[in-house]
């Protein structure tokens, strides 16, 4: 419990309440509890590790061989030219004439990720894998003095370079909670090591921007500004309750305590959707290539749904047209299902809407990005056999039962014999781009996905 005491005299370091009265908050002990490791320019570093000819040179990783796409990663050398993740390839080439472009190899990034995790486990248990290139580890009492934690971080960094790849540098942050450790890891790149102790908080953070804090985007920044909070100092100088009011929502004061070094338990989360998207090459953006690509994405999503033990109740088709910056989407309700046949039937029902939207907007369908998401997913627990599985296969009551059994059989065949060993619908040939497994921010694909 946090004890709040109103003081008769103003204390400059204490937050002020709404009436200008100064208050002092007695916070619990805040020892160093978290080590956060962020691999520098990860995808590009893996490419440099795999190909010595790329080392020391400006490199970007791109999803397809087209100037119309964007960089999904930039090497340390490329970043010196102002190239970052999201920079269009044509612009990156303009910024750096010596730029080298490596095609994305997501299966290799997962392989290296697994090797990095295994190396970290040699030194300290991994508490949470936050993304493909970020790991958080909880420090025990016998390893959380500043000297001990710094020595541990240096051993981990050296172990990754020696045993995984010399190109794989990392920045490490050490702090009383995971949010602050993440912020510390961002303070010095590449190959940094920053420690934030309780005595340095929160004033050590005042030079950072609000947007540097995970969870604060443009909308939240505007909301805070309307309440008179324009930087981290102004936020931290408020009482927790008043800071929470500015933040809004349930547990709005949570950020205040985190920025002051309190190690709060994580809020419970759960998976809410499963989906995939793909940027189409310029020659394959008409209706039929888009439809076939969407079917492939839907099959991948349905396979993941079954593997994770979920059923979906909503299918969402979302696209970005060539001429538009905003995403257009449409959806269709599903009876809770894992069946690829049911998912594809719902997807086929949405395509007339997409074709009509393209005609109304631009006279013809030209889609730059296509995505399929299975939403409102629920766990499948205690599943019972169907009463209809012995009916005639064409009986409507038996159709989904047979379809789900066939979908699961296809999963097993593709896992054993490789991607596309069996599929639903036409053989694509050259009509669509290769739709491989990709790494989304914050989600690392299972190796099984590279067989889908």
- Least trusted range by pLDDT, from 54-63, 135-144, 290-299, 441-450: 441-450
How many CB atoms lie under 10 A from the CB of residue 347? 19
pLDDT of residue 197: 96
Residues noted as catalytic: 134
Q: Which long-range contacts (CB under 8 A, 24 or more apart) does 349-355 make?
A: 350/315, 350/317, 351/287, 351/291, 351/294, 351/317, 354/290, 354/317, 354/319, 354/330, 355/287
- Enclosing H/E stretch for 379: strand 378-379
Task: List the one residue out of 79, 31, 87, 27 whose CA is nearest residue 57.
Answer: 79
pLDDT for residue 10: 29
Name the least confident of 225-229, 253-257, 382-386, 431-435: 382-386
User: What confidence score (pLDDT) does residue 396 get?
Assistant: 56
CA distance 329 to 332: 11
Give the per-residue pLDDT at 423: 66
- What is the reported pLDDT for 325? 77
- pLDDT at residue 382 is higher than 90: no
The DSSP line for 10-45 is --TTSPB-TTS-BEEEEPPP----EEEEEETTHHHH
More confident residue, 337 or 437: 337
Share of the chain above pLDDT 90, in %: 55
Mean pLDDT of 408-423: 65
Give the lowest-confidence range in 206-215, 306-315, 361-370: 361-370
| pLDDT in the model for residue 279 | 85
Q: Can you tell me the mean pLDDT for 112-126?
A: 96
pLDDT at residue 288 tops 80:
yes
Burial (CB count within 10 angstroms: exposed 0-12, middle 13-18, buried 19+), residue 222: exposed
Instruction: Please indicate whether residue 294 or residue 27 has the higher confidence score (pLDDT).
Output: 294
Residues 372-376, mean pLDDT to the nearest whole number? 93
More confident residue, 7 or 155: 155
How large is the average pLDDT for residues 318-347? 89
Q: Is the model's pLDDT at 241 over the cut of 50?
A: yes
Does 391 have pLDDT greater than 60?
Answer: no
What structural domains does the chain harbor?
Answer: 3-30+202-259 (no CATH), 31-200 (3.30.70.270), 274-451 (3.30.1490.100)
pLDDT in tens, 185-220: 999 999 999 999 999 999 999 999 999 998 898 889
Say if CB 33 and CB 176 are below 8 A apart: yes
């Amino acid at each position: 419990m946090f004890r709040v005491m109103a003081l008769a005299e103003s204390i400059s370091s204490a937050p002020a309440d709404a009436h200008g009265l100064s208050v002092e908050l007695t916070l619990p002990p805040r020892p160093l509890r978290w080590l956060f490791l962020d691999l520098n320019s990860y995808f590009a570093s893996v490419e440099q590790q795999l190909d010595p000819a790329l080392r020391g040179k400006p490199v970007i990783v791109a999803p397809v061989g087209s100037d119309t796409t964007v960089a999904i990663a930039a090497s340390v050398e490329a970043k010196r030219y102002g190239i970052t993740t999201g920079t269009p390839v044509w612009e990156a080439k303009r910024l750096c004439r010596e730029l080298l472009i490596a095609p994305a190899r997501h299966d290799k990034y997962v392989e290296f990720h697994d090797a990095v995790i295994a190396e970290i486990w040699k030194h300290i248990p991994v508490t949470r894998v936050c993304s493909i290139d970020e790991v958080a580890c909880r420090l025990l009492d016998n390893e959380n003095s500043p000297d001990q934690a710094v020595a541990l971080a240096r051993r981990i960094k050296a172990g990754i370079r020696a045993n995984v790849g010399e190109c794989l540098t990392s920045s490490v942050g050490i702090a009383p909670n995971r949010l602050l450790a993440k912020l510390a890891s961002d303070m010095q790149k590449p190959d940094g090591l920053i420690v934030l102790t309780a005595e340095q908080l929160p004033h050590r953070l005042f030079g950072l921007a609000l947007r540097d804090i995970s969870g604060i985007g443009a909308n939240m920044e505007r909301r805070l500004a309307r309440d008179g909070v324009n930087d981290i100092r102004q936020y931290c100088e408020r009482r927790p309750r008043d800071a929470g009011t500015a933040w809004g929502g349930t547990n709005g004061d949570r950020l205040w305590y985190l920025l002051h070094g309190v190690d709060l338990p994580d809020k419970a989360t759960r998976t809410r959707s499963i989906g995939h998207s793909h940027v189409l090459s310029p020659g394959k953006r008409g209706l039929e290539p888009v439809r076939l690509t969407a079917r492939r994405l839907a099959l991948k999503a349905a396979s993941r749904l079954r593997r994770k033990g979920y059923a979906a109740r909503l299918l969402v088709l979302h696209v970005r047209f060539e001429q538009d910056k905003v995403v257009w989407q449409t959806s269709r309700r599903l009876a809770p299902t894992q069946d690829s046949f049911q998912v594809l039937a719902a997807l086929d029902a949405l395509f007339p809407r997409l074709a009509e939207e393209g005609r109304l907007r631009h006279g013809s369908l030209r889609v730059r990005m296509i995505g399929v998401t299975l939403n409102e997913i629920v766990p499948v627990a205690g599943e019972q056999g169907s009463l209809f599985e012995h009916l005639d296969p064409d009986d409507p009551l038996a159709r989904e039962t047979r379809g789900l059994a066939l979908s699961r059989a296809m999963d097993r065949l593709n896992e054993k014999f490789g991607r596309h060993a069996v599929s639903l619908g036409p053989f694509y040939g050259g009509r669509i781009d290769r739709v491989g497994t990709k790494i989304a921010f914050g989600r690392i694909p299972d190796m099984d996905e590279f067989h889908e």
